[in-house]
Structure 1
Amino acid sequence: MGGAANCPSVMNILFGYIILTVFLVLVCMEPNQVEARVEPPYPPDYELKALHEIAAELGKKDWNFSENPCNNKSSWFTPPPTHGSQAINNSTVTCNCSFTNGECHIEVIYLAGQDLDGVLPPSLSKLLYIKTVILHRNYLKGIIPREWAALKLETLSVAMNHITGPIPGYLGNITTLKYLSLENNQFSGTIPPEFGRLVNLENLTLNANYLTGKFPLSLANLSNLKELRISSNNFTGKIPDIFRSWKQLEKLEIQASGFEGPIPSSLALLHNLVELRISDLPGEGSKFPNLKNMKNMYRLMLRSCNISGTIPDYIWELSGLQILDLSFNKLEGNISDSESLTKAQYMYLTKNSLAGHIPEWMSIRDSRYQIDLSYNNFSESHQSLSCRENLNLFQSFSGGKNLGPDNCLKSLPCSKDWYSVNINCGGGATTINGVNYEADEDLGGRAKYVPLKETWETSSTGLFWDTTPTSMDFIARNVSVLRTNNSELYTRARLSPLSLTYYFRCLANGNYTVTLHFAEIVIRDNRSYQSLGRRIFDVYVQEKLELKDFNIKNEEKGVDKAAIRKFKTVVRNKTLTIRFHWAGKGTTAIPRRGTYGPLISAISVDSDHRPRVLNAWEKNLKVVVGAVVSVLCLVLVILGILWWKGYFQPKPSREQVLRGLDLQTGFFTFIQMKAATNNFDPANKIGEGGFGAVYKGVLLDGTIIAIKKLSSKSRQGDREFLNELGMISGLQHPNVVRLYGCCVEGTQLLLDMNTWKIIALHMLYSALVLQQKGNLMELVDPRLVTEFNEEEAIRMAKVALLCTNSSPALRPTMSEVVNMLEGRALVPKLIMDPSIFADESRFGALKDQFNQMQSRKGSEITTITQSSIYSSSTAWSGSSSTSVQHP
């Protein structure tokens, strides 16, 4: 009983503990946690009814009206992403339940990335407390409803939809607007001047539409404007000079807007700018704008603005600058060497005329920094800069036309001339219809040029703005099944945010066909916001603009389809350049921000006169034929040389050769020679030389002659014989007997000299006699009279006698002869053989005969001689000269 009686008390104690625990938990909880457990009231019925209508107009089908739209649960609320970035897909309705009467009213409708396929809902005007409407990244059509003009909206975004027509002026009635984004639609016409009434507007974004006309001056009233973006439109005229009214402006974007330059000077008044983007301004150029007071500049782009002059030094001193893009201008001068320089992470000075050396501070930046100096005129002073992955120096150095790139390629010499190159851009190696496409899987970079191949390289320039950089930014991958042949070429593609250059080298010069393969594999072609993108870019081949404002999707009426374009070009200096360039046109945020710029799937470069590829049998045949032809050519060359040297010409006879020479001699028969010498009787032999014997002979007319007969054992050949004839026949002197002629029959070679050697010997002996008697002067031609030096004549005669001494030991040396002739040495007395003078009488007879011959006229002697010779030989050629040849 007692135990039973105690049970209720135990239960009471346990119950007390439970109540105490719950109380303590409630006390320890935060007040907002307690309040979170309080279920908010539903919005008024008229708002619920309006939500039903709005859902129907938008095509929103997943709202659950059995739940309270204000409880931030289920289909009415999308939790924010944990990483803090803005989610593309969002479906949120937010209520304000802080009204004093305890009611909740809908303030925010945020429907992004829902692919809603309806219209902008007019019923939105029934939500009287609505302040924020965000409907971007859908497929909504139609126009902005007039009913919205009555709302007290502060934020309105219908960006990235399919809205057409002009921007309605009644939007200017929503004077409470602070944020208005109409970008990435198909709005046309002009900006309504009524926008000048939006005096509270802080952000106006009109990018990527088809707006035209001039910028309304009424927008100068927007004194609270902090952000203005009007890129990729078709405005006309010059950039309006109304910046002085927007002194609170922090971000200004005017890329490819259609406006012309120059940049207004009033831009200098925008001291609060942190981001400035102006690009692709045609028309009049200008000097570098005054940005000196913009100390907080964070991102600066002045690209393709026709800016000339030098870069101001203060640009390099902007400590907060993270992105600097001054590419595609006409900037000159040097880059500052100052030590207190910008720490910009991305720097683009591409395609200017910058000169001087590349400063050292650029060479010490690590891989976190990207610097592009391509297409400039720097002096090549820092070789270590040539091949860095974060420093693009493609064609950045001076040197004439500079057709080739920098020193990076010095390590890749051309092994041969190439006639074809095929590249699968962004993809792996593959073979299509027997054509091998090389892989191009390098991840690329924001300022990258590092050559790795012999025949081609890429240069990538640019940064995808408004996105977080990743390693896969420069290679696109298809997001659906490709509906095209040869899909291997279009599965991946190479991308670029600004400029992509394929540089081909080692090509054979000549005419080529360039084939470019495109396929849009990122932007879609369905009833989705992902189909609303417009990729527009230009294509240059050998710096010639071949495709302007090229839109792959429009060209092929869809996506995932191959667009193939062929171009004819000429390769000179073995190089070819294909450049893809984004000029700021088209959309930049569909399907995601950073979706823009050139896209290329594959490239083929083929020579129009490409040598045919031979198979194995043809190659072997070619080798054999080449070898045979080479041997035949060698033989022909050898034969030609031999023929040129006369080895194959018929050899003329001796007589033909002699008769062809102007020897001024006659020809005798061998019979005449035998008769004159009594058949070469040894008794008539008067001497013998190295080449044969000399015989005394008498012609039929009584003329005494000496005949030299060439011995068969002699070393003298035809050439020596002819030389001897030529030399003897050419000698002409009144005191020297002449050559009468020769005999050439078979192997017989003979020279006929008139009293040759006999008279010569007699003359020598006569001189010895005269010297003994002291009458050497009688050796001198009497016709000279006094026209000579008697002392020199006597000295010469004495020296001659010394040189002809019968004893070789008594003959003087040549140096002694020279000294004696020049008078530096006395001529020694001649020692003579006394027996010589016994025959003095015969020399007198010879002298008388010689004097008698000299007294006759030369023509008479020639006539008699020719007459006597003609009687003996029919082959005669006469001469009036006299000559003699030593044996």
Structure 2
Amino acid sequence: MHADSTTHSKDLHVLKQLKAAINPATITPGSCIYSWDFTLDPCDSLFTEKFTCGFRCDVVLNSVSRVTEIELDSAGYSASLTAISWNLPYLENLDLSNNNFAGPIPGSFSRLTRLQRLALSHNSLSKAIPATLGSLPSLEQVYLDNNKFEGGIPPSFNGMNNLKRLELQGNNLGGAFPDLDQLVNLNFLDASDNEISGQLPASLPPSVFELIMRNNQIEGNLPLRLANLAYLQVFDLSHNKLSGSVPASLFTHPSLQQLTLSFNQFGSIQVPVNLGLTSQLISVDLSNNDIHGFLPGFMGLMPKLSALSLENNEFSGFIPSQYVLKVLGSGSGQNVAQFERLLLGGNYLFGPIPGPFLELKPGSVMVRLGNNCLYRCPVRWFFCDGGVQKSLTECRGFGALIP
């Protein structure tokens, strides 16, 4: 009787890499690895003398001592996470992304003390992230995104002093975000699409360039120490439950270029003392909050700002002249960017359409003024599209500011 159990071609590729990495003097004659010449499939013909795969390989793996890199980046590999961690202690780069691995990360991963890059993205790994990962002193990049991890982010991660990139997005992680202010080399942090709750810690990694935590349950005010993140360029906490005021320090930050706080519960915007004239911001999205009052005119003076979305808030009053001039590109100074995208729909703005807007041609700039209380803003004008104007009853019911 014969049975076919042909090895997957990609597994064969890994087996060849494995044998090539082993010192031939350490391979026991007669063992399964000794028999691999790859002219025959070592795992085929289950009940014949040709089959030598599986019975003795577990012990022979102990001969592997100097493999420094393994990359399995396509689905279908059958390598064992536990076997790798126990038998390859010199690994520096372990990439097992895009496979079908399930279950927890083995505790034996704490043996990989030389590991610099750990990539387990896009698997079905679950349970809690082991705290022992935080004890790996050489880790510089950790990719645990798009799995099924649950529980909290281990506070022990604060001990990974060499860590530069941490990706945790697309899991089921919950609880409060831990204090990671000791990660003085961290440049990129993404914890989006989880169930993280509570408030942000008062201190965050001081060296971070990109901080992305959208689509969680984070609440409370933004910490004042955000201004201390001197290298921050991208800050995205959209789709959370943040409230209070958007701090003025974000509009005077020395390096911040992209600010995304949409779909939260902010009620106001603090006006910076210098009116944002030193701001490096290119894009600001504060849409879908509860912000009230007049449109912040200072944003029309910010020199590099080219994309502004304040849609679906409770702004009222006239459209500031600073916005009009910035749309037309006729603001003061040659180095002042014009608005390429200005989204103001879904508020309670009133008054006439600024006359210069009538000269704008479709496609020249994106302006949305629909669903406000503006006088004579028919949808045939491209900038009035996005919803007809609110009824007079609704506008007057909003408050005394509507004439």
TM > 0.5 fold call? yes
- Identity within the alignment, %: 22
- Give the whole-Å Cα distance in 1 for the aligned partners of 2:227 and 2:248: 10
- Give the whole-Å Cα distance in 2 for the aligned partners of 1:221 and 1:334: 35
Are 1:410 and 2:377 matched, yes or no? yes
1:280 to 215, 221, 233: 215
Cross-structure match for 2:251: 316
The offset of 1:162, in angstroms, is 2.3
Residues 197-235 of structure 1: CA deviation (Å, up to 9, x unaligned): 312112222111111123334334323222222122112
- Give the whole-Å Cα distance in 1 for the aligned partners of 2:271 and 2:310: 11
Within a 5 Å distance, the mapping from 1:291-330 to structure 2 comes to 291-330=226-265
- Give the whole-Å Cα distance in 1 for the aligned partners of 2:134 and 2:375: 56
> 1:288·1:309 contact (CA, 8 Å) conserved in 2?
no
Residues 569-601 of structure 1: CA deviation (Å, up to 9, x unaligned): xxx99xxxxxxxxxxxxxxxxxxxxxxxxxxxx
- Give the whole-Å Cα distance in 1 for the aligned partners of 2:79 and 2:131: 18
- Give the whole-Å Cα distance in 1 for the aligned partners of 2:163 and 2:290: 36
> 2:277·2:302 contact (CA, 8 Å) conserved in 1?
no
- Give the whole-Å Cα distance in 1 for the aligned partners of 2:132 and 2:223: 34
Residues 625-666 of structure 1: CA deviation (Å, up to 9, x unaligned): xxxxxxxxxxxxxxxxxxxxxxxxxxxxxxxxxxxxxxxxxx
Within a 5 Å distance, the mapping from 1:34-45 to structure 2 comes to none
- Give the whole-Å Cα distance in 1 for the aligned partners of 2:108 and 2:376: 62
Residues 605-631 of structure 1: CA deviation (Å, up to 9, x unaligned): xxxxxxxxxxxxxxxxxxxxxxxxxxx
Cross-structure match for 1:208: 146
> 1:135·1:158 contact (CA, 8 Å) conserved in 2?
yes
**AA matched with 1:347:** V
- Give the whole-Å Cα distance in 2 for the aligned partners of 1:408 and 1:173: 69
> 2:183·2:206 contact (CA, 8 Å) conserved in 1?
no
* Equivalent pairs, count: 313
Task: Look up the SS of the partner of 1:291 in the other structure.
Answer: helix
The offset of 1:403, in angstroms, is 9.3
- Give the whole-Å Cα distance in 2 for the aligned partners of 1:408 and 1:155: 62
CA change 1:239–1:409 in 2 (3 A) is farther
The offset of 1:187, in angstroms, is 0.7
- Give the whole-Å Cα distance in 2 for the aligned partners of 1:126 and 1:392: 63
**AA matched with 2:342:** L
Cross-structure match for 2:84: 148
5+ residue gaps, structure 2, are 1-5, 22-56, 328-338, 351-368, 395-403
CA change 1:292–1:412 in 2 (3 A) is closer
Residues 791-842 of structure 1: CA deviation (Å, up to 9, x unaligned): xxxxxxxxxxxxxxxxxxxxxxxxxxxxxxxxxxxxxxxxxxxxxxxxxxxx
The offset of 1:361, in angstroms, is 4.7
- Give the whole-Å Cα distance in 1 for the aligned partners of 2:165 and 2:311: 32
Task: Look up the SS of the partner of 1:231 in the other structure.
Answer: coil
- Give the whole-Å Cα distance in 2 for the aligned partners of 1:205 and 1:409: 53
Task: Look up the SS of the partner of 1:321 in the other structure.
Answer: coil
CA change 1:335–1:393 in 2 (3 A) is farther
Bigger helix share: 1
Cross-structure match for 2:330: none
Task: Look up the SS of the partner of 2:197 in the other structure.
Answer: coil
Are 1:162 and 2:100 matched, yes or no? yes
Task: Look up the SS of the partner of 1:303 in the other structure.
Answer: coil
Cross-structure match for 2:313: 376
- Give the whole-Å Cα distance in 1 for the aligned partners of 2:224 and 2:240: 11
Are 1:333 and 2:248 matched, yes or no? no
The offset of 1:180, in angstroms, is 0.9
- Give the whole-Å Cα distance in 2 for the aligned partners of 1:289 and 1:281: 20
Residues 425-463 of structure 1: CA deviation (Å, up to 9, x unaligned): xxxxxxxxxxxxxxxxxxxxxxxx8455xxxx4xxxxxx
5+ residue gaps, structure 1, are 1-52, 70-93, 96-120, 415-448, 458-502, 510-571, 574-887
CA change 1:162–1:397 in 2 (3 A) is farther
Residues 409-429 of structure 1: CA deviation (Å, up to 9, x unaligned): 703379xxxxxxxxxxxxxxx
1:394 to 331, 345, 356: 345
- Give the whole-Å Cα distance in 1 for the aligned partners of 2:279 and 2:320: 24
Task: Look up the SS of the partner of 1:218 in the other structure.
Answer: helix
- Give the whole-Å Cα distance in 2 for the aligned partners of 1:397 and 1:348: 18
**AA matched with 1:277:** I
Cross-structure match for 1:195: 133
> 1:158·1:181 contact (CA, 8 Å) conserved in 2?
yes
The offset of 1:127, in angstroms, is 5.9
Task: Look up the SS of the partner of 2:108 in the other structure.
Answer: helix
**AA matched with 1:327:** S
Task: Look up the SS of the partner of 2:150 in the other structure.
Answer: strand
The offset of 1:145, in angstroms, is 3.2
**AA matched with 1:185:** N
- Give the whole-Å Cα distance in 2 for the aligned partners of 1:184 and 1:145: 15
Within a 5 Å distance, the mapping from 1:594-633 to structure 2 comes to none
> 1:335·1:359 contact (CA, 8 Å) conserved in 2?
no
- Give the whole-Å Cα distance in 1 for the aligned partners of 2:375 and 2:112: 60
